[in-house]
Amino acid sequence: MKVTFKIWRQENTDAQGELKAYEVDGLSEDMSFLEALDHLNEILVLKDEKVIAFEHDCREGICGQCGVFINGRAHGPHNNTTTCQLHMRSFKEGDTIVVEPWRASSFPIVKDLVVDRSAFDRIIQQGGYITAKTGTAAEANAILVSKEVSDSAMDAAACIGCGACVATCKNASAALFTAAKINHLNKLPQGQPEAHRRLLDMTAQMEFENFGSCTFTGACEIECPADISISNIAEMNARYVKAKLFG
Amino acid sequence: MFFRKSIVAATGLFLCIFLIVHLSANAILLLPETTARELYNSYSTALRENLFITLIAYLLYISIILHVVYAAIITFRNTKSKGEKYKVNHNNKNSTWMSQNMGFLGVFILLFIVVHLANFWAKIKLGIGEDVGVDVNGNVDVYEVTSFLFHNMYFMLFYSVLMIPLGFHLYHGLKSAFMTLGFYHKKGLRLLAKISLAYAIIMSVGFGIIPLFVYFK
């Protein structure tokens, strides 16, 4: 299989970037998209050229490391998938595939396709956890949680923090990520003691990081690999308004 | 961020309610001419003489201004948040065109409001331009102003065609406003999407068809 990659090359954060074309032959349609990039990098090594920097880790859709903008879509042409779960069979022989890094002011480009997503870490640091003593795991049935609550908390907890929501959003809003992280804990009894502070602190950090505001285009929930619904954002808004009005 | 967005949503919803009342009144224009003239003029006189309506009118002007100003601020900040644009972006695959272009649609609606106010509000309330006559009941003949305007082909087209961007703006705006203000019930949101579509169609077709009707009557 032969395709042409047009890949964003940028030396560092401050350098001027550009799309560079690479014709790549010898690909198999069974290769994952990341394996195709590996294949291209091997060719570049043999040619003594600089390899393309891109992030990856588990390559099974759970770590949230990989994430690039492929042919005008976050994580490629399919809905609700990660880049590592995209395969070359989704493209045709002779296709031109444009690959760009996530674009958002809060995600500065480090090099080529790698962006700095530590803004997400700083949002988590503001309350994306519960303060509890570590040690032996507590008896699982000590705190009872209804099925509905645990299901909806788990739906939010599925977020892998890949940043596709920010990348696809025209406003570079981190509302889906932040809402998922807040709702995951605030729905559960374990999250209750710090629920109020968590909501206010994490949203404040989200604004401080200069992410845009949510205008409900709905693009994020289509691209989200964890299929997180934008109703989470509306729920965050509801709780925020309630917290501000009634303390 | 939340505050600004809530202002846009709340004022937007108020304007949505206003449009229902406005369209109901405009529907008078679809009646036979003599009845329409009499009803329309007495209705508009009643509005002008009602203190409560005067207060609502001021609320309306404030809402329009806040809606436009805050939407402009949010758009400016969001554009800055996004930074450099993608070279290739197929956002039509994951979201509707109107949701991506609310500001663009809004500019047309603002243009419409300015012209609309110049045509009616400036003429009848501020008394700018030619004097407006009275009808047989002694009410200011707003019907004549409307009918005269809509018999001008350019104004007729302006008033009809610009209801298309209004419809698109309302379709996304109505459901988005509810979500911004915290309506998150999942089944409710699906119903809300249908209601928004129906509302947008009724408003744009309703407002858009009246100038055509008057022109060809």
CATH code (residue A148): 1.10.1060.10
Are the Cβ atoms of B96 and A223 closer than 8 angstroms?
A: no
**Residues A86 and A164 occupy one common structural domain:** no
Which of A154, A176, A156 shows the shortest CA–CA distance to A165?
Answer: A176
Which positions of chain A have pLDDT values less than 50? none
Alpha-carbon distances, residue B213 vs A78, B19, B103, B144, B148 (angstroms)? 47, 19, 30, 15, 13
**What confidence tens digit (pLDDT) does each residue in B143-179 have?**
999 999 999 999 999 999 999 999 999 999 999 999 9
| Residue B166: inside a domain | yes
- From A110, A141, A170, the end of a domain falls on A110
Q: Which of residues 157-186 of A touch B (CB under 8 A)?
A: 168-173
Domain that holds residue A213: 118-246
| Residue B9: inside a domain | yes
**Residues A94 and A140 occupy one common structural domain:** no
**Residues A49 and A106 occupy one common structural domain:** yes
Domain count, chain B: 1
Are the Cβ atoms of B90 and A73 closer than 8 angstroms?
A: yes
Q: What per-residue confidence (pLDDT) applies to B132?
A: 86
**Residues A152 and A54 occupy one common structural domain:** no
Percent of chain B having pLDDT more than 90? 90
A238 CB near a chain B CB, below 8 Å? yes
Cα A81 from chain centroid (whole Å): 11
Which of A114, A19, A120, A118 shows the shortest CA–CA distance to A67?
Answer: A114
| Residue B83: inside a domain | no
Q: What per-residue confidence (pLDDT) applies to A136?
A: 86
**Residues A63 and A146 occupy one common structural domain:** no
Are the Cβ atoms of A213 and B91 closer than 8 angstroms?
A: no
**Residues A106 and A134 occupy one common structural domain:** no
**Residues A100 and A170 occupy one common structural domain:** no
Q: What per-residue confidence (pLDDT) applies to B13?
A: 98
| Residue B86: inside a domain | no
Confidence of residue B133 (pLDDT cuts 50, 70, 90): confident
3-state helix, strand, coil in chain A (%, to 5): 40, 15, 50
Q: What per-residue confidence (pLDDT) applies to A132?
A: 84
Contacts of A233 in chain B (CB under 8 A): 179
Mean pLDDT of chain B: 95
B166 and B116 in contact (C-beta within 8 Å)?
A: no
Q: In the predicted model, what is the mean pLDDT of residues B66-84?
A: 97
**Residues A101 and A126 occupy one common structural domain:** no
Gyration radius (Cα) of chain A, Å? 20
Q: In the predicted model, what is the mean pLDDT of residues B189-209?
A: 97
CATH of the domain at B123: 1.20.1300.10
Q: Nearest chain A residue to B9 by CA: give it.
A: A215
Pick among A16, A109, A216, A246 to test the B interface (most B CBs inside 10 A): A216
Q: Which residues contact B20 (CB under 8 A, 6 or more apart)?
A: B203
DSSP state letter for A24: E
Q: Nearest chain A residue to B5 by CA: give it.
A: A213
**φ and ψ at residue B2, rounded to 5 degrees:** -65, -40
**φ and ψ at residue A101, rounded to 5 degrees:** -75, 165
**Residues A140 and A236 occupy one common structural domain:** yes
pLDDT of residue B1 exceeding 80: no
**Residues A238 and A171 occupy one common structural domain:** yes
ipTM attached to this prediction: 0.92
| Residue B194: inside a domain | yes
Q: What per-residue confidence (pLDDT) applies to B31?
A: 95
Q: What per-residue confidence (pLDDT) applies to A137?
A: 81
**Residues A147 and A92 occupy one common structural domain:** no
Q: Which residues contact A72 (CB under 8 A, 6 or more apart)?
A: A98, B86, B88, B89, B90, B91, B93
| Residue B27: inside a domain | yes
**Residues A129 and A236 occupy one common structural domain:** yes
Chain B nearest C-alpha distance from A71 (Å)? 6
| Residue B44: inside a domain | yes
Chain A nearest C-alpha distance from B95 (Å)? 5
Count CB atoms within 10 A of the CB of residue A165: 32
Domain count, chain A: 2
- From A110, A145, A176, the end of a domain falls on A110
Pick among A227, A237, A241, A245 to test the B interface (most B CBs inside 10 A): A237
Could you say which of A77, A104, A168 has the minimum Cβ distance to residue B83?
A104
Q: What per-residue confidence (pLDDT) applies to B143?
A: 95
Q: Nearest chain A residue to B186 by CA: give it.
A: A231
- From A49, A80, A110, the end of a domain falls on A110
Domain that holds residue B10: 2-78+98-216
Cα B85 from chain centroid (whole Å): 31
Q: What per-residue confidence (pLDDT) applies to A243?
A: 86
Q: In the predicted model, what is the mean pLDDT of residues B35-43?
A: 95
A53 CB near a chain B CB, below 8 Å? no
pLDDT of residue B217 exceeding 90: no
Are the Cβ atoms of A235 and B182 closer than 8 angstroms?
A: yes
B160 and B147 in contact (C-beta within 8 Å)?
A: no
Contacts of A155 in chain B (CB under 8 A): none
